[in-house]
Structure 1
């Protein structure tokens, strides 16, 4: 199959780029591990650039069969119920100094990604959030975040439970343990790697924020020793075979690889991407089945001949009607197939009659008919708004007035009709 055909057939996964500075110019990038995994499992990554105004153009990236959101800066605290009351001004300043590359808010990226996350929730489009992407998902659904895990969470737990979630000097190599929750997708993916009935694996992470209050629709899948949620999903929207997948992972399974190798730490590491892609493919098939146009029925020779005769009959009848001509006896035989067709199809279902009225009875008048319908609806809406502000007395007077006008109208109309009858009789 040609590459051009594949680009049409394969499902599209939307990924938003991260903005950085290179040679005094802004550049957009996405981690290649994410792209490699999406492609390897049969989908096409479509990169949405972090460019001002793109959040207003998301419709232009349709069709969207899946959304993968990953790296980026801290989410604007004003977009959720951020509570900094337990942090001093000195601590906030220290957070900004220690995590300068993350605390620079990117409002445009926030707008793009929150827009995509909410779209996925509305349409049940498969969504996979990694690191910041999991935080976006939680915020989009009403959850909140810690402003800084170290300042707000780690220091408040017993020393043996304290841990580092970020190591700027050892990005790929840093690991910390997480406890996997039983009977969750993570448990299924990493089950073969769990030793002696334990539920712990070591993961790569690179973040100073995380889920504080998990949105109500989600269920945790993994916890760090300090209690931070490291993974969650929507159990009611998880069935990859049926195109359902809504999940957030705070850690980086795509980076959990052995030193100087592409071999994963655990066989289950790429499963998030594998199952996500499976859901994306299923969602595309479901979407195509809803929007596909039925193929025209192929008629055999005899039926095709009859179809042409009926069309010819209707065309002839229209010409006679529009031209005001009398029916020529030589044309009667050509009109017969159309007449027989109408006689055998006179009984219409109620739905067909309603549809015919909606169309304005004829295709020629459909446009003006629908315009009138819309105008009438607008007038009715305006009238209801005005009447809703009127008092009972005013409404009563209005009703009496229109009742009187209706009686007068009926009497005048009756006289006019009687006059027409008398003229025709004389």
Structure 2
């Protein structure tokens, strides 16, 4: 076995919380850890526990942040004008039972990290809920429930086909996604979310749209070098 003395970049990822044998357990999906390692970086798990905010300096240096899936973001953290009735909310909670439980501690930790990235130009990637966190951190808003608020005909979540479900997205020309996928106008993507971007923060630009017009991907144009095909 060869051990390298090279210091690799550190990428922070916040854990999720689940209940196991009547005790809370923090975890991170192995796929996301593999993603970080496969790109030559070291994953550093930031635990979702009270008080971790005061320890943020101890996680330095932060070379990147990966924000990924989780529960719905607390709607009080962004301006929302959805007129959802108590009956609507009851139905949403019933249909999306595993996703609608608010985790304010995780919200707070990830919003702190997202704002740190935006302020200090730390590289970031937001997947699923992570992209929503970035949008909220930059001043954007969310649909609390896509079906209820826009009456979509596009299925964005399929509980019976979690791993296999896909739908098409339209790729915006002259964006990183368009460049990475050899200028394809449409690609198929996996989808598992009942919320989504409502008003995109001003600093971001859309990269992809679902058939119902929902923004499915966005980026910061000030952080991207189109000639190099990579983010700064």
1:123 counterpart residue number: 120
CA contact (8 A) 2:72 2:102 kept: yes
The structure carrying a bigger strand percent of its residues is 2
1:37 counterpart residue number: 35
Q: Kindly tell me: are residues 24 and 3 of structure 1, through their superposed partners in 2, closer, same or farther at Cα, counting changes over 3 Å?
A: farther
CA distance in 1 between partners of 2:73 and 2:222 (Å): 26
Once the two structures are superposed, residues 149-194 of structure 1 have per-residue CA deviations (whole angstroms, 9 ceiling, x without a partner) of 11112x1x5xxxx1111111211101011000011110111127x3
2:220 counterpart residue number: 234
2:3 counterpart residue number: 3
1:221 counterpart residue number: 207
Q: How does 1:338-353 map to 2 (within 5 A)?
A: none
**Partner-residue secondary structure (3-state), 2:160:** coil
CA contact (8 A) 2:170 2:209 kept: yes
Runs of 4+ in structure 1 off by over 3 angstroms are 1-4, 239-242
**Partner-residue secondary structure (3-state), 2:40:** coil
1:100 counterpart residue number: 97
CA distance in 1 between partners of 2:68 and 2:188 (Å): 20
State the aligned residue count.
231
CA distance in 1 between partners of 2:14 and 2:221 (Å): 25
2:168 counterpart residue number: 177
Once the two structures are superposed, residues 183-236 of structure 1 have per-residue CA deviations (whole angstroms, 9 ceiling, x without a partner) of 1110111127x3xxxx11110011110000000111000000011100000101
The structure carrying a bigger helix percent of its residues is 1
The answer to whether the aligner puts 1:210 opposite 2:207 as a matched pair is no
Q: How does 1:297-376 map to 2 (within 5 A)?
A: none
Q: Relative contact order (alpha carbons < 8 A, sep ≥ 6): 1 or 2 greater?
A: 2
Structure 2-normalised TM-score? 0.94
**Partner-residue secondary structure (3-state), 1:125:** coil
2:52 counterpart residue number: 54
1:200 counterpart residue number: 186
Cα displacement (A) at 1:5 = 2.1
CA distance in 2 between partners of 1:241 and 1:36 (Å): 28
CA contact (8 A) 1:114 1:140 kept: yes
Larger Rg: 1
Cα displacement (A) at 1:241 = 9.7
CA distance in 2 between partners of 1:25 and 1:79 (Å): 28
Stretches of structure 1 lacking an aligned partner (at least 5 in a row): 246-278, 280-426
CA contact (8 A) 2:141 2:200 kept: yes
RMSD between superposed Cα atoms in Å = 1.9
CA contact (8 A) 2:82 2:149 kept: no
